[in-house]
Amino acid sequence: MDNSTVLVLANPADRELALLEKLPEGTSIAAGEHLDAFRNAAPAADVILNWSGALDLFERVWSLAPRVRWVHSRSAGLDGVLFPELAASPVPLTNGTGVFSQSLGEFVVGAVLFFAKDFRRMLRNQQAGRWEQFDIEEVSGQTLGIVGYGDIGRACARRAKALGMHVFALRRRPQRSSADPDVDAVYPLEGLGDLMARCDYVVAAAPLTPETRHLIGAAAIAAMKPSAVLINVGRGPVVDEAALIQALEHKRIRGAALDVFEQEPLPDGHPFYRLDNVLLSPHCADHTPDWLEQAMRFFLENFARYRAGQPLLNVVDKQLGY
C-alpha cells in the first residue's frame, strides 16, 4: 500500500498524539481542532482519526477528503460521530468498543456493592462518630439485568457471575447470547418490562440509537422492584432522566448509580447532586491512568491491519449505529 495521509481531529498538544510517531515511515499526519489545519492535506487523505473533534468539524473535514478509505473514532458511542454522509458512504467506520469495557465492568460491581453493603451509611456514621451496627445484603444469589449486551455488557456479566449473581441479558438479537455461559436468560427488546421486574440491579449498557433513546422510561422504571437499583454506564439518553428522578425522589426504587447523563456536565443545582440514593460519577468510570494511551494503541493496531489489507477490528454497522 502507498504511503498514507492521516487527518487527526484533536488538540495537537494532546500527549497521546506522540504515539503516532509509531506509524510507518512516510505516513503524513495533519492534526488540529480547526478546519484550516486540514485544508492542504485533506484532498489526499485516506484515513481520518476522530480523536476528540466536534461533530461539525468532522463533517466539514469529511467534505474536503474525497479519497478517505477508513474512519476511526476514539469513542465507543457513535451518537456524536455519525452524520448522514458518513452513514451513507461505503467507507468503513471503526470505534473504541472494548478498549474501556473492563473498567466499566468494575464500576458496575462497585455500584452493586455500594448499595448492597450500604457504604453511604457507613461513611455517614463514620463522619458523625457514630457506632451503629446494621444488616447488609449478600449479592450472591441476586440478579443483575443487562440492557444492551455488547462488550460492556459481557464485561459486567463476567464479574457478576464471579460474585455468584444470576445474569439476565436483553439484546436486539437474543440468539447471539443463547449459549453464553455467563447469562442465565436472554430477553428480546419487547421483554424489557419482564427483565426490569425480575432484577435486583439493572445495568444500562446499550448504545444510543433512535430505537434506544429513553428505552428505559417511565414504564420500565415503574416495573422495577422497590429494592432495585438502576446503573447506567452506556449512554445518558438511553434512560429517561425525568422519569428516573421522579422514581428516586419518591423512593419508588432503591437507587441509581450513574456515569453518563442526558446533559454533560450536569448543570448546577441538578437533582442528582442532592439525592442521597444516587451514586454519581462524572463520566469517568473508564478513565484509568492510561485510558487514552490504550485508545491510541488500539488505533495503531488497526492501522497496521489497514496497511496490511487485513480485516479491521470494531467495524460498526452505520445503519444500526453500533
Whether 33 has a pLDDT exceeding 70, the answer reads yes
User: Is the pLDDT at 2 greater than 80, yes or no?
Assistant: no
pLDDT per residue as tens digits for the range 68-124: 999 999 998 888 899 999 999 999 999 999 999 999 999 999 999 999 999 999 999
Query: In the prediction, which pLDDT does 77 show?
Result: 86
Closest CA to 9 of 62, 64, 48, 40: 48
Let me know if 214 is a catalytic residue.
no
d(CA 159, CA 214): 26
Query: What's the average model confidence in pLDDT over 62-69?
Result: 98
The single residue of 283, 297, 305, 307 carrying the catalytic annotation is: 283
- In the chain, % of residues over pLDDT 70: 99
User: Is 5-98+289-308 in CATH node 3.30.465.10?
Assistant: no
Tell which phi-psi region holds residue 80, choosing left (phi > 0), alpha (psi between -120 and 50) or beta.
alpha
For 225-268, the pLDDT digits (tens) are: 999 999 999 999 999 999 999 999 999 999 999 999 999 999 99
pLDDT tens track for 159-207: 999 999 999 999 988 877 678 999 999 999 999 999 999 999 999 999 9
235 given a catalytic annotation: yes
- Reported as half-sphere exposure (CB side, CA atoms, 13 A), residue 257 has a value of 26
The neighbouring-strand residues paired with 232 are 204, 258
Q: Cβ distance 216 to 239 under 8 Å? A: yes
Return d(Cα 282, Cα 266) in angstroms, integer.
Answer: 8
- The reported pLDDT for the residue numbered 143 is 98
Q: Which of 6-10, 177-181, 210-214 has the lowest mean pLDDT?
A: 177-181
> What's the mean pLDDT when you consider all of the chain?
96
DSSP 19-62: GGGGSPTT-EEEEESSGGGTTTTGGG--EEEESS--HHHHHHHH
Checking if the pLDDT of 43 tops 80, the result is yes
Q: What does the pLDDT read at residue 27?
A: 97
pLDDT score of 102: 96
Is residue 249 helix, strand or coil?
helix
When pLDDT is averaged across residues 311-317 and rounded to a whole number, the result is 96
Residue among 211, 249, 264, 301 flagged as catalytic: 264
CATH architecture observed for domain 101-280: 3-Layer(aba) Sandwich (3.40)
Q: How far apart are CA 216 and CA 212, in angstroms?
A: 8
Q: Which of 159, 235, 241, 254 is catalytic?
A: 235
177 — alpha (psi -120 to 50), left (phi > 0) or beta?
alpha
SS3 137: coil
Work out the pLDDT band at 223, boundaries 50, 70, 90: very high
Active-site annotation holds for 283 = yes
Cell readout for 271 is 437533582
Domain boundaries, the chain: 5-98+289-308, 101-280
Evaluate whether 5-98+289-308 and 101-280 have a shared fold: yes
Q: Categorize the per-residue pLDDT at 1 as very low, low, confident or very high, splitting at 50, 70 and 90.
A: low
